[in-house]
Homo-oligomer: A and B are copies of this chain.
Amino acid sequence: MSPEETFVATALHAWNQNIDRANKVFSDLSDDDLQKAIAPGRNRLAYLMGHLVVVHDAMLPLLDLGPRLHPELDGAFLTNADDPAVAMPGADELRRLWNEVHERLRVGFAGFSAADWLSRHTAVSVDDFAKNPLRNRLAVLLSRTSHIGYHVGQAALVAK
């Protein structure tokens, strides 16, 4: 591996580690488990799982990998706080969405060269990117990697 390839592989490994951690937390949960809140009055596990699906789905256009797969989920999991009065998709449906989005990202990431990772993400203009080359796709990946950790840390508070 060239140094650049090693940088990319190390960053993808960190992403995959956090996805694996999230899988451990979320993938075996029942419908009932997913209704549990991380703390009194706080988000339900189903909300966190759906929120990660939505945020990761939005990485597709941000990384120029194509359109969102499920923009219809934004209302339930992104633009509104968790509302216990609102029904969530069930465990099977959340798992299906989870797997679909992460499989699409996996395929997209596999097609990126090191130079692609250092390219502009789509939320920054050509001019702004010229001023700040750190606003690249890798920065999006690293930011989302930490974001998984943020919510996995919260989900871990739910007693088994």
Name A residues whose Cβ lies closer than 8 Å to a Cβ of B.
1, 3-4, 6-11, 13-14, 17-18, 38-40, 42, 114-115, 118, 133-134, 136, 138-139, 142-143, 145-154, 156-157
B residues less than 8 Å from A3 (CB atoms): 4, 114-115, 118
Q: Which of B7, B114, B157 contacts A154 (CB 8 A)?
A: B157
Q: Which of B1, B40, B118, B156 contacts A7 (CB 8 A)?
A: B118
**B1 and A4 contacting across the interface, CB-CB below 8 Å:** no
Query: Copy number in this complex?
Result: 2
B residues less than 8 Å from A8 (CB atoms): 7
Alpha-carbon distance A145/B114, docked complex (angstroms): 21
Q: What are 13 A-B residue pairs whose CB atoms fall within 8 Å in the complex?
A: A4-B4, A4-B7, A7-B114, A7-B118, A10-B134, A13-B134, A17-B143, A39-B39, A42-B157, A145-B146, A146-B148, A150-B150, A151-B153
Alpha-carbon distance A18/B156, docked complex (angstroms): 20
Q: With A149-B149, A157-B38 given, is the CB distance from A138 to B7 under 8 Å?
A: yes
**B134 and A9 contacting across the interface, CB-CB below 8 Å:** yes
B residues less than 8 Å from A152 (CB atoms): 150, 153
B residues less than 8 Å from A143 (CB atoms): 14, 17
